[in-house]
Amino acid sequence: MERFEVISVLLHMHFEQEAQMDKDRAKGSAKHIGGKMKEGLGKATGDKKTEGEGKADQAKGKAQNTYGSAKDKLRDK
């Protein structure tokens, strides 16, 4: 397992412990942060594929976080 994946998993575990935060928000945040790290790794190594995958992971994480936020707002009404 690569370093950025380990950090992503640890962040994911932390965010899952947040009781008031929707699970999709937590998972989305972890995925977004992991994508940032992956993109940075790709830039640092000159690996365009890894950089692109990181950007895609960020977009997926942002979408999942937005979905979770919407669920939170509906639940809080």
Tell me what pLDDT residue 75 has.
77
Tell me what pLDDT residue 73 has.
82
Tell me what pLDDT residue 4 has.
66
CA atoms within 13 A on the CB side of 21: 18
Tell me what pLDDT residue 2 has.
67
Q: pTM for the whole thing? A: 0.70
Tell me what pLDDT residue 26 has.
86
pLDDT by 10-residue block (mean), the chain, 77 residues? 68 58 85 94 96 96 92 78
